[in-house]
Amino acid sequence: MGVIIGPRVIEAGVSLLSVLVSPGPVAAGYPSPAQDYFDGRIDLNAHLIKDITSTYVVRVSGESMTGAGISDGDELIVNRALEPKDGSVVIAVLDGELTIKRLRITPTGVVLQAENPAYPDIDVPALSDLTIWGTAIRCLHHV
């Protein structure tokens, strides 16, 4: 279904985590012997979050967005201040129900598009109560 299990508030001024960062990209093919050291630290709070006052983390439940690289149990970083546009992955509230879908704005109306062929798209009827709660900006995916 792709619903949210409650947003988690990120407190302003609180660093999520500071971790070591590689000085350059790491090859996914043949390893490079020159890449055996790290180049200081990166603040993940500053790297992942541009507007701390309107950013939340939501946990994904369901498989309807697997085609977009969003899996069950992943966490999305969601910015509520961004203007959603056609093609955005959004947290939508449709008639009181939360869902994560790709927003499609068509000449005939709004569609909440699933990214898994096993799940139908949702054509939003004109008289429905639709609120776009926020726009996903990053997916924290478990490997």
Catalytic: which of 18, 54, 101, 128?
101
For tokens 């500053």, what's the residue? 46
Q: How far apart are CA 125 and CA 110, in angstroms?
A: 8
* Residue 101 known to be catalytic: yes
Q: How far apart are CA 86 and CA 103, in angstroms?
A: 6
Task: Report helix, strand or coil for 34.
Answer: coil
Catalytic choice (64, 71, 85, 128): 64
Tokens 């055996």, located at residue: 36
HSE-CB for 16 with a 13 A CA cutoff: 16
Q: Do residues 81 and 135 lie in contact, with contact meaning Cβ atoms separated by under 8 Å?
A: no
At 86, is the secondary structure helix, strand, or coil?
Answer: coil
Catalytic machinery residues: 64, 101
